[in-house]
Amino acid sequence: MSALNLDDFADLIERPDGGVRRDAEERRGRLALPPGALGRLDELGEWLAAAQGSVPVRPVRQPKVLLFAGDHGVASLGVSARPAGSAQQLVRAVLDGSSPVAVLARHAEVPVRVVDMALDCDPEELPAEVGGHRVRRGSGRIDIEDALTAEEAEVAFRTGMAIADEEADAGTDLVVLGDLSVGGTTPASVLVAALCGTDASVVTGRGGRPIDDLAWMRKCAAIRDALRRARPVLGDQLELLRTVGGADLAAITGFLLQSAVRHTPVMLDGVVSAACALVAQRIAFRAPDWWLAGQTSGEPGQAKAFDRLALEPLLAHGVTAGEGTGALLALPMVRAAAALAAELPVIDEKPGDDGLEAADDVNTDPEPAA
């Protein structure tokens, strides 16, 4: 395996096309509706046009929910309402269609893909398409030990990159990104606190299943102890993920960066994807221009991360179920923005004119990073 050079991403990732966005803004100005009448839908439509390199914007036809799964050793401290090592139950609920994200995805006709990175179960217990990328069985207990070895961290990161390439090559035009983890909000909170320079108490939330005060104090203490281990490696993002992240978090970070390279828009969900986005921003400062914040869950670490990323959540429903559920709720809003931007006639168009005068100007889909 060749050495992974994270600095390459800063050169490979470009911003969405500014010229196309200006064209989209100009087209919006020629609609019969007055400026501001569609609220954030106008902004979303222009963002999509720039991301696609197309005016008018194309419909979002092939979205996908992508969930990275893993168990975290720190859950053994009682920092989660779920038993340590039980993330496989979350995966099974998605696969059998009984979880919130599975129900919503089924009704929205959006496929769901689950990737096992570090579940604490026998691989044979899961379908091959779920478990084929596993790096290890559970990530390490980050308050006293590293989450991963150096080799595991790189393999997990590269796995995320490879999955981003697979989705781009398959024509996925928007990814709703989430996680299926037990204990995952603890390393995510450590990453947010470390990268934002805050104390453990500022980022410690109560998780998808709210924990009681004693569990919150245990979680806060675990984050504080892991922060001491994180601060010496802040200058090396892969080392940071190895030390206090986990296989699923490393994969999500690699996925986010390679998706930006491939010009694939991504909608972030909870604190785990938000924390990985913060790490990715440190690697390539232009990468956040390819992401949307789906919703605000009320988790303090998520709010801190979105603020640092300058991403304003589309919804504020306070959904704490995780699994990409909150972000998936925002997908109809994105689809609506695309439909309005594409189909509302401009003042100088004749009936039936589809306004495709600029649609062939740009077609950006760069080759995968080496």
Residues annotated as catalytic are 323
d(CA 246, CA 157): 10
Q: How many Cα atoms within 13 Å fall on the side-chain side of residue 150?
A: 6
Q: What are phi and psi of 97, to 5 degrees?
A: 85, 15
Find, among 120, 233, 127, 234, the residue nearest to 180 by Cα.
120
Q: How far apart are CA 367 and CA 370, in angstroms?
A: 9
Strand partners, 179: 68
- 319 neighbors 326 (Cβ within 8 angstroms): yes
- Cis peptide preceding 56, ω within 30 of 0: yes
Compute the CA torsion angle 338, 364, 7, 146 (nearest 10 deg). 50
Cα–Cα distance measured from residue 316 to residue 361, given in angstroms and rounded to the nearest whole number: 36
Order of all β-strands in the sheet with 291-293: 112-118, 63-71, 174-182, 266-268, 291-293
Beta pairing partners, 31: 346
Give the Cα separation of 285 and 368 in Å (integer): 19
Rounded Cα distance, 179 and 271, in Å: 10
